[in-house]
Amino acid sequence: MGTNLSTLTALVGGVAQALAEVAPSAVTVKHAAGVVTVVTPQFSESFYIAENILGNISDGLPPTEAIRGSVQSAVDAFEDVVTRALTVPWPDATGSGEASILDGKLHLSFGPEYARSIAIPGSLLAKEDT
């Protein structure tokens, strides 16, 4: 059975929660059906993380590489959205967000102050071995 949106829902929800935890107070992060939406006072922007992961997997990337790359792209875009909304570079001294995968988990960090680990669905990890 192939990877589908429901397989990725919890993973993308965890990413949304991590972004919400580091977002400045003027920025809200929402999640629905594999899409993370960042809302600022001026505008909103959506990141189709699950769709990107699925597309990368169907293009032949290993699932963990597809997840890491798609999430890192969303983190970079999130930083750009916040910077545009605040009209100053963000994050400042905390350091840019970083996505990595280790021991079956997606790790998100923003400088030394914030780190979160999100479990990758076992069905995706099993595809790495095939």
For residue 114, what are the domain limits?
A: 5-128
Query: Of residues 106 and 113, which shows the higher confidence score?
Result: 106
Cis peptide preceding 91, ω within 30 of 0 = yes
29-68 CB burial, b ≥16 within 10 A, e <16: bebeebbbebbbeeeeeebbbbbbbbebbeeebebbebbb
Number of domains the chain is built from:
1
Cα first-last separation, the chain = 13
Backbone angles phi, psi at 85, to 5 degrees: -70, -40
Other CB atoms closer than 10 Å to residue 72's CB: what's the count? Answer: 15
Convert the pLDDT of each residue in 80-90 to its tens digit. 999 899 887 77
| The token pair that represents 74 in the structure block | 């969303």
Query: Of residues 92 and 28, which shows the higher confidence score?
Result: 28
Q: Where does the pLDDT of residue 12 fall: very low under 50, low under 70, confident under 90, or very high at 90 and above? A: very high
At residue 7, the pLDDT reads: 83
